[in-house]
Amino acid sequence: MTDSDRPILIAPSLLSCDFARIGEEVARVEAGGADWLHVDVMDGHFVPNLTIGPPIVKAIHAAARIPLDVHLMISEPVRYAEAFVDAGAHVLTFHWEVTGAAGTGAAIEAIRATGVPAVGISVNPDTPVEPLEPFLDSLDLILVMSVFPGFGGQKFIPEVLTKVRRLREMGFEGLIEMDGGVAPATIADCAAAGTDAFVAGSAIFGSEDVAATMKEMRRLAAEGRQTAAI
């Protein structure tokens, strides 16, 4: 895939939305041009925070028209994968820190067996990407965390950009997603490094006009990618 063929996917993280009005929040970002809805699942064990489970994901899916990008920050992703896929996950991403070199192949296989359209793996900011090499051909997406998982509204860690470049050098052709502190000020660098999918919670839901913010982020991502290609 050449740079010009690569998508620019804007994925608002519902972690920063008004949960009391979640259906309206979904409609608001869809109308504003979102490509995916990013859903953060936390278990209070892998990360020190608790969010939502399959019933709420099902409710979001019922309200949504665009794909659900489900980010599992949980210690037992395989145990719960089917429940999240039944609830409507389109992309299901688990963490390398949970499965490691010994368990990742089996986890990918088990999650693939659920019939989910896309299987992803995520790496924390301090996790290298080289150990992912044996699994690159069996992954649809790699989510590079640009904050330590657990909370929205944290500051972008720019050092992770080298891992996006490294994954492209290693020949990964699938989607690369960045999550954490992605905003108008940081998105161009993410795109220039080789990112396709951009998760943003506080930058989108914290803005006055979600449509204008997403449009501006898309423009800056395209510009960043083009600058990198010159």
To the nearest whole angstrom, how small is the minimum distance from the Cβ of residue 55 to ligand 5RP?
Answer: 20
Among 75, 138, 202, 226, binds ligand 5RP (CB under 6 A): 202
Residue nearest ligand 5RP by beta-carbon distance: 201
Comparing CB distances to ligand 5RP, the nearer of 103 and 125 is: 125
**Residue 103 marked ligand-binding:** no
Site string for ligand 5RP, 15-54 (x = CB under 6 A): xx---------------------x-x--------------
- Does residue 151 have a known ligand-binding role? yes
Instruction: Give the active site residue among 35, 69, 179, 196.
Output: 179
Q: Quick check: 156 and 147 in contact, CB under 8 A?
A: yes
Look up tokens 């929205």; give the residue.
152
Give the Cα separation of 198 and 114 in Å (integer): 25
**Residues 81 to 140 in contact with Fe ion, rule: CB under 5 A:** none
What sign does the dihedral 73-77-80-85 (CA atoms) show? positive
Is 40 known to be catalytic? Answer: yes
Closest distance to ligand 5RP from the beta carbon of 151 (Å): 6
Of ligand 5RP, Fe ion, none, which one does residue 182 interact with (CB within 5 to 8 Å by kind)? Answer: ligand 5RP
Contact 110, 124 (CB under 8 A): no
Q: For the window 165-204, what string marks contact with Fe ion as x by the rule CB under 5 A?
A: --------------x-------------------------
Specify burial of residue 46 (Cβ count, 10 A radius: 0-12, 13-18, 19+): buried
Task: List Cβ neighbours of 7 (8 Å cut-off, separation of 6 or more).
Answer: 35, 175, 196, 197
What gap in Å lies between CA 38 and CA 41, rounded to an integer?
Answer: 10
Indicate which residue of 5, 18, 35, 40 is catalytic. 40
| Residue 135 is labelled as binding a ligand | no
Q: Is 146 annotated as a binding residue?
A: no
- Nearer to ligand 5RP by Cβ, of 106 and 205: the residue is 205
Residues in CB range of 144: below 8 A, 6 or more apart: 122, 123, 129, 160, 163, 164, 167, 176, 177, 178, 179, 195
Would you say 36 and 200 are in contact if contact means Cβ atoms under 8 Å apart? no
Query: Beta strands of 114-207 (E only): which ranges?
Result: 118-123, 141-145, 175-179, 197-200
- Residues annotated as binding site for substrate? 13, 71, 150-153, 179-181, 201-202
Residues that bind ligand 5RP (CB under 6 A): 13, 15-16, 38, 40, 71, 73, 147, 149-154, 179-182, 199-203
Q: Which residues are catalytic?
A: 40, 179
